[in-house]
Amino acid sequence: MNRKFTKAMFAGSFDPITNGHLDIICRASKIFDELQIGVLHNPNKKGLFNFDERVELIKSCTSHLDNIKIVSFDGLLVDYCHANDICTLVRGVRSEADVNYELQMAHMNRELNPEIETIFLPTNTKYSFISSSLIKEVLTFDADVKNLVPEQVLIALKKKSKGRE
């Protein structure tokens, strides 16, 4: 069979990467020959982790996967994909609310570039309530998030909160 080499893009802010993201990354990496993880580079948006820290965390959490490429992008995601020969966007969906939002993005991206398709992977139910923003919110109250993020991220989060004391 003359199968085409398949490349896909999983993009986000990853501030920080969570177990939910990691679940989608592992599953998508089994479907495609190469999965690019696109880290949004927006110097105007201040996150908890700076760009380099976010990339380092993703790198260390995905080091067991051999078909991952971590890249940065700014501007339109479809423009990055077009320039890099990527025809598929992968998005994880956790809930009905996500579906509504994600459908809107998928339609817009399709309008911007009809050659790039979006595919949705339903999040593993045990991660369906996790988001980077909620993790950061509960952390401000010293909640335990050890089941929600990879170990490397937990260590980095603890360092951040120590630095703030």
Token pair in block for residue 128: 């369906």
Nearer to ligand PNS, 135 or 165 (CB): 135
CB 35 within 8 A of CB 116: no
Q: For the segment 30-89, give every residue that binds ligand PNS (CB under 6 A).
A: 40, 76-77
Q: Which of 7, 21, 29, 54 is catalytic?
A: 21
Of the candidate spans 25-33, 102-110, 139-147, 149-157, the one that interacts with ligand PNS by CB under 6 A turns out to be 102-110
Q: What angle do CA 141, 145, 147 make, to 5 degrees?
A: 160
CA distances in angstroms from 87 to 5, 12, 35, 46, 114, listed in the order given: 11, 17, 11, 30, 10
The closest of 36, 48, 72 to 149, measured between CA atoms, is 48
Which alpha helices (DSSP H) does 18-149 contain, by range? Answer: 19-31, 51-61, 77-83, 96-112, 132-139
User: In the set 105, 119, 143, 155, which binds ligand PNS (CB under 6 A)?
Assistant: 105
Q: For the segment 116-145, give every residue that binds ligand PNS (CB under 6 A).
A: none
User: In the set 108, 119, 143, 155, which binds ligand PNS (CB under 6 A)?
Assistant: 108
Q: Which of 45, 69, 146, 159 is catalytic?
A: 45
Q: Clarify whether 164 is annotated catalytic.
A: no
Q: Which of 27, 46, 94, 146 is catalytic?
A: 94
Token pair in block for residue 112: 């911007």
Q: Clarify whether 132 is annotated catalytic.
A: yes
User: In the set 88, 109, 118, 123, which binds ligand PNS (CB under 6 A)?
Assistant: 109
* Amino acid type, 23: D
Binding stretches for ligand PNS (CB under 6 A): 11-13, 40, 76-77, 105, 108-109
Catalytic residues: 21, 45, 94, 132
